[in-house]
Amino acid sequence: MNSCRLMEWLSEMGETDIWDEPMSIQAVQKSNVVTLQELRALMEQVDSPLKQCATNMVFGVGNEHANVLLLGEAPGAEEDKQGLPFVGQSGQLLDKMLAAIGLDRSMVYITNILPWRPPGNRTPTSEEIALFLPYVLKHISIISPKIVVCLGGTATKALLQKNDGIVRLRGRWTKVEGMSARVIATFHPAYLLRSPSQKREAWIDFLQIKSALASIN
């Protein structure tokens, strides 16, 4: 059994103490990290079994001074190969959604809850989300966007700390304690590829983002 499969197996058996305790939100926030380079270096040291299974860490990409930060779930196969977020099929749809409200990748910043691809694209576990959430919050505080867009249920539930599904949580502006940005959730582009009839709802969410941006600029 290779080390990736072994880690997955131990994890399924509930053996979660085989890797480091997660660094607390306060510890990451208080760390000396102030730049994206420093954050990347800190994340590269995180001891997660996901690392054993992935090819590349997928950190984040885009305009470091963007007003809008898009937060996805985790890299897929293509993202893992290229080390960049949203470069596969769902990324192509995301580009079209951004273009529809006059944005492109040079105007936004994109990152994910998990920086390493879960094997077989499985849904991230709550332990994995808890491990990386402090780094996500630090990432957001370094970029300091005015608007955070959660793409899909995993990013939304993690950031808002809610258990409701995306259908209930999407399309509403929310505040997250300690974060100056306004947060809105919408459907994940991969879900929209599977359920195109929901694109109408996503469009309504993107129109809200457009008008919020117009009031900032």
Residue ranges that bind ligand URA, judged by CB under 6 A: 72-76, 79, 85-86, 88, 90, 112, 190
Unique residue bearing structure tokens 């332990």: 127
Smallest gap from residue 214 Cβ to ligand URA (A): 27
Smallest gap from residue 169 Cβ to ligand URA (A): 16
Smallest gap from residue 177 Cβ to ligand URA (A): 24
Q: Which is nearer to ligand URA, 154 or 216 (CB)?
A: 154
Q: Which is nearer to ligand URA, 67 or 156 (CB)?
A: 156
Smallest gap from residue 86 Cβ to ligand URA (A): 4
* Cα–Cα distance, 32 to 29 (Å, whole number): 8
Can you give the three-state secondary structure of the chain, one letter per residue? Answer: CCHHHHHHHHHHCCCHHHCCCCCCHHHHHHCCCCCHHHHHHHHHCCCCCHHHHCCCCCCEEECCCCCEEEEECCCCHHHHHHCCCCCCHHHHHHHHHHHHCCCCHHHEEEEECCCCCCHHHCCCCHHHHHHHHHHHHHHHHHHCCCEEEEECHHHHHHHHCCCCCHHHHCCCCEECCCCCCEEEEECCHHHHHHCHHHHHHHHHHHHHHHHHHHHHC
Q: Which is nearer to ligand URA, 23 or 74 (CB)?
A: 74
Q: Which is nearer to ligand URA, 90 or 156 (CB)?
A: 90
Smallest gap from residue 114 Cβ to ligand URA (A): 9
Q: Which is nearer to ligand URA, 49 or 85 (CB)?
A: 85
C-beta nearest to ligand URA: residue = 72
Q: Which is nearer to ligand URA, 15 or 104 (CB)?
A: 104
* Cα–Cα distance, 36 to 51 (Å, whole number): 20
Do the Cβ atoms of 50 and 123 come closer than 8 Å?
Answer: no
Smallest gap from residue 90 Cβ to ligand URA (A): 5
